[in-house]
Structure 1
Amino acid sequence: MRNTILQIICFLLCTLFFYAAAAKALDFGQFVADIAKSPLLANIPPAVTGGLTIGTEVAAALLVALPRTRKAGLFLSTFLMLCFSLYMGILYFFYTNIPCSCGGILGQMGYPAHIVFNIAFTLLAFTGILLQHFSLSYPSTKTTGA
């Protein structure tokens, strides 16, 4: 059961990160233009931030998808979702009229819904870390018949 839940979490994270990266890459010009409006990223060239964001999302998706790198992928996913949640929260509570730079349907969410969505995926990724840890720490209780 634990492994099945872990597989579902990894599938959801992989899907989220591939979708988000693809949506941003397909409309890279708009993505970079929106990043340029962020007061939190003012000192970093938007094309650099955009490229690193897309690359990191693809890396997280690939790491989570592969069993040998799943643990690293879950840690990266948790870190990314925590950073995205904090970023969105700071923009929402301390600034006005800053467009969301997320692509696709995620960019259409209002800030409160998007923050809740990000927090939910942060908790999901963290749950994946716990499930991965416990599935590796404890041997299976199944016994083989004699």
Structure 2
Amino acid sequence: MKKHIITVIVILISMLFTYAAIFKAMDYPLFLSDMSKSPLLVKYDKNLLAPVVLGTEFLIVILLAFPGTRKAAFFLSFFVMAMFSLYLSTLYFFFTNIPCSCGGILGKMPYPVHIAFNICFTVISGAGVLLSNKS
């Protein structure tokens, strides 16, 4: 049963990060533009940060594909989702009219829905970490 749960978690996280990364990459100039509008990222070079975000998302998907690297992928996914949740929450509660640079349907979600969505995936990633620790 645990193996099936881990498989479902792998599929969900892989779909999320593949979808998000592909949509950002497909409209890379918009992704950069939206990142540039974030008051939390003004100190960072977007031309450096954007490829790191995309690379990390694709890396998680690749690491999830192999049983030997899944635990690392779950940890990385948990960290990334927790950071994205904190980032979106900060934007929502302390700033106004800041576009989300997530792309696709994710970027069109209202902030409260997107934050809840991210928290759900943070919990899913955490479950992956816990279940892979018991292997």
Match of 1:115 in 2: 115
Match of 1:133 in 2: 133
1:10 paired with 2:10, answer yes
Give per-residue Cα distances to partners, 1:59-97, cap 9 Å, x unaligned. Answer: 011111211100000000000000000000000000011
- Say how many residue pairs are matched: 135
Partner of 1:40, secondary structure, is coil
- How many percent of aligned residue pairs carry the same amino acid? 50
Distance 1:46 1:54 in 2: 12
Which is further off, 45-54 or 123-132?
A: 45-54
TM-score when normalising by structure 2: 0.98
Distance 1:97 1:91 in 2: 9
User: Which aligned segments of 4 or more residues in structure 1 are displaced greater than 4 angstroms?
Assistant: none
Partner of 2:106, secondary structure, is helix
1:34 paired with 2:34, answer yes
Distance 2:119 2:128 in 1: 14
Which residue identity lines up with residue 5 of structure 2 in the other structure?
A: I
Match of 1:69 in 2: 69
TM-score when normalising by structure 1: 0.91
Distance 2:113 2:62 in 1: 27
1:93 paired with 2:93, answer yes
Give per-residue Cα distances to partners, 1:21-77, cap 9 Å, x unaligned. Answer: 000000000000000011111011112111110000000111112111000000000
1:51 paired with 2:51, answer yes
1:22 paired with 2:12, answer no
The structure whose Rg is larger is: 1
Which residue identity lines up with residue 93 of structure 2 in the other structure?
A: F
Give per-residue Cα distances to partners, 1:89-132, cap 9 Å, x unaligned. Answer: 00000001100111111011010000000000000000011111
Distance 1:33 1:127 in 2: 34
Partner of 1:44, secondary structure, is coil
Distance 1:80 1:101 in 2: 15
State whether residues 11 and 65 of structure 1, in contact with CA within 8 Å, keep that contact through their aligned partners in structure 2: no
